[in-house]
Amino acid sequence: MPRKLTRRDFGKTAAAAALAASVAPSSARAADDKKTLRFIAQSDLRVLDPVWTTAYITRNHAYCVFDNLFAIDAEFAPHPQMVGDYSVSPDKLTYQFKLRDGLGFHDGSPVRGVDCVASLKRWMARDGHGQALKPVLDEIKPDGDKGFTIKLKEPFGLLLDGLAKVSSLALFVMPERLANTDPFQQVTEMIGSGPFKFVKEEFEPGHRVVYVKNTDYVPRKEPPSWASGGKVVKVDRVEWLYIPDAMTKVAALNNGEADWWENPPADVWPVLAANPDVTVARVDPLASPIMTRFNHTQPPFDNPKMRQAVLSVIDQADFLAALAGDKQNWEICASFFTCGTPMANDAGSEALTGKRDFEKAKKMIAEAGYKGEKIVVMDGVDQPVAHTQALVITELLKKLGLNVDLQAMDWGTLVTRRARC
């Protein structure tokens, strides 16, 4: 589904804070003379540690506070970000990295090779890409204060892509003392080397997150391209506002109490577009993929046959129409990898493009031995995309004759509860 972004004076203010809100490539464009950007984020920020959760709200927060070793450009190619120079041995088994000059953490300490190594190890323990790397890894070690080396047992062609990934559990560098935290325990002290500093004293979960410009941050000299290039900050302060009710958000934007709304639901786009001071725009040319996730560890969906039965009647159009309204705002994509990206393909797509047969699916459910176990659907009511998905999938599951309990909660609670399942 195309991600919509509503922003007052878009061409002036939003680009300056793109770095604070997302990985959009416009972080170095002109800003107006306002020094504080008020941003309505997609949901409430409850989890601060970008290794502990896959929630995009946490990842976006991390892009403000931390920095990356590599970053992906608009053509999906990885480029050095914190790294200055690097070399790869002819046999592609040894990668040597040297950090660029000017890197420092918010507590005044320099970024060192040991910080990168510790951050890499913690990331590898949780991230799927990192876990795929681990079996072929021979050694990660610091090389002096400003370098580190990765040695492999066999070539791993997507190494740099993994270090640069922008999706959930992107690799962010923390000080060694924080990166040594158990990866299954949350880091709560937000000390990074990124372009913004997290203001702990003004953090109010359920209300507001505040960042201030890191005046010591040294951007790269290259022009910005998606997550790569120079991150030039042109505001002094960014306030992430949490407003649960959609119409209250509309009022805040229309009244000048907020400057940017990240992800408004489709039903308010016309209301916002009617205001000449508000621009409703699509900012992600790739669109934003959505997923419905089963809990594979608990009955009844620990049984693959149950998951296959539900998949066989999923119609992407039902979800997308509910999420984005008019067909011009969405498109069907049956690829596991996002359509329009280098790895997009139609392998296995028949599972989503074949005939939707509910009677056949009901037989599959009976054959799977379903005995009426309760199925809880967690509904993040303050996150428009998640909320709409929850409503659509609940109706589908009920149509299959399953025992469904739709439980409403805010997104922060959902993310925390999901991690315990």
Between the ranges 20-34, 42-56, 185-199, 288-302, where is the mean pLDDT highest?
Answer: 185-199
- Residue pair 356/312 in contact (Cβ under 8 Å)? The answer is yes
Q: How far apart are CA 320 and CA 26, in angstroms?
A: 27
Q: How far apart are CA 421 and CA 415, in angstroms?
A: 10
By DSSP bridging, strand 78-80 and strand 70-72 are antiparallel
Range in 160-164, 189-193, 346-350, 387-391 with the lowest mean pLDDT: 346-350
pLDDT cut 70: percent of the chain above it: 92
Looking at the predicted structure, is the pLDDT value of residue 336 above 90?
no
Looking at the predicted structure, is the pLDDT value of residue 16 above 60?
no
* pLDDT at position 181: 98
* pLDDT at position 327: 86
Range in 94-108, 146-160, 257-271 with the lowest mean pLDDT: 257-271
Looking at the predicted structure, is the pLDDT value of residue 4 above 60?
no
Task: Classify 254 as helix, strand or coil.
Answer: helix
* pLDDT at position 398: 98
Partnered with residue 94 across adjacent β-strands are 151
Q: What is the mean pLDDT of the chain?
A: 89
Taking alpha carbons only, the member of 56, 23, 46, 49 closest to residue 290 is: 56
* pLDDT at position 290: 81
* pLDDT at position 370: 97
Taking alpha carbons only, the member of 159, 178, 156 closest to residue 106 is: 178
Residue-wise pLDDT for 115-134, tens only, equals 999 999 999 999 999 999 99
In the chain, what is the greatest distance between 2 CA atoms, to the nearest angstrom? Answer: 65
Q: Where are the domains of the chain?
A: 36-46+190-274, 67-180, 304-419
Looking at the predicted structure, is the pLDDT value of residue 26 above 70?
no
| Assigned superfamily of 36-46+190-274 | Periplasmic binding protein-like II (3.40.190.10)
* pLDDT at position 34: 57
CATH of region 67-180, choose from 3.30.465.10, 3.90.76.10, 3.30.750.24, 3.40.50.300: 3.90.76.10
Residue-wise pLDDT for 54-99, tens only, equals 999 999 999 999 999 999 999 999 999 999 999 999 999 999 999 9
Question: Environment class of residue 164 by beta-carbon count within 10 Å: exposed (0-12), middle (13-18) or buried (19+)?
Answer: buried
Taking alpha carbons only, the member of 15, 5, 27, 6 closest to residue 227 is: 27
Q: At how many degrees (to 10) do helices 411-420 and 56-65 cross?
A: 100
* pLDDT at position 196: 99
* pLDDT at position 420: 81
Sign of CA dihedral 263, 266, 272, 274: positive
Overall average pLDDT of the 313-325 stretch: 92
First CA to last CA across the chain, in angstroms?
28
Residue-wise pLDDT for 218-247, tens only, equals 999 999 999 999 999 999 999 999 999 999
Q: How far apart are CA 393 and CA 379, in angstroms?
A: 10
Higher pLDDT, 78 or 27: 78
CATH of region 304-419, choose from 3.30.450.20, 3.40.50.720, 3.10.580.10, 3.10.105.10: 3.10.105.10
Structure tokens at 148: 């580190």
